[in-house]
Amino acid sequence: MKKLLIIGGISLATLFVITLIVGMSMWSWVGGFYDSANKTRISAQSRDMEAQQVYDKTWKIISQKAQISEKYADDFKQTFIGANDARYKNKENMMMMWITEHNPQLDASLYRELGQSVEAQRNEYLSIVKAQISIAQEHNTKVTSSGAFMPCTILRVIGNPHQACDTVAVRQVTSSRTQNSFQTGKDDDVKLFEQKK
């Protein structure tokens, strides 16, 4: 009887140790999966906030530089017209004077700088969105793969903390023109500036 109790006790202790090892391994596996999935989810959300900031900065820079260029062009026009009106008012041989004199030139560097700013800001935004898409793809692949079934099931049973097993969507900011082009498969309008009528 004593022998039976000892064997039963050893069996129970062995079963407890095996259960403990399996439980710890399972907990470690699920915990590691949770940590990894949660890190990529948080990283994707951080990139989304960064994309918003860059997008906002982009339009503020472009808008303000465009306003400077417009103001410069308007001021130049007023200065040029005012100077010419005063210079040639009631004078003979105005055409010869106008041809021989040096007249102010509109500085095109402001427009070049504005164009460069547009390109640079758009490229920065695109770079951030590409990184965000890559992170979201990594996370979504991780939580939807066959290896994620068991840990995600366990995490959902305990409440899916921080929605670690939920997929991440990337918010994309596009124009109506781009959306229409992708729906129709065509983009025939390549005019940069509209013709004034």
Give the number of other CB atoms < 10 A from CB of residue 197: 3
Distances (CA, A) of 23 to 20, 29, 47, 143, 161: 5, 10, 36, 22, 19
Asked if pLDDT for residue 1 goes beyond 70, the answer is: yes
Asked if pLDDT for residue 158 goes beyond 60, the answer is: yes
- What pLDDT was estimated at residue 18? 92
Cβ pair 165, 155 in contact under 8 A:
yes
Q: What is the rounded CA–CA span in Å between residue 79 and residue 38?
A: 61
Q: What average pLDDT score do residues 35-50 get?
A: 87
pTM for the full model?
0.60
- What pLDDT was estimated at residue 21? 92
Q: Where are the domains of the chain?
A: 37-170
Q: Which tens digits make up the pLDDT trace of 72-117?
A: 778 777 777 776 666 666 666 555 555 555 556 667 787 788 888 8
- What pLDDT was estimated at residue 161? 67
Give the number of other CB atoms < 10 A from CB of residue 47: 21
What DSSP string runs through 102-114? PPP---THHHHHH
The residue type of 142 is K
Of 10-24, 88-102, 134-148, 178-192, the range with the highest mean pLDDT is 10-24
CA neighbours closer than 13 Å in the CB half-sphere of residue 97? 11
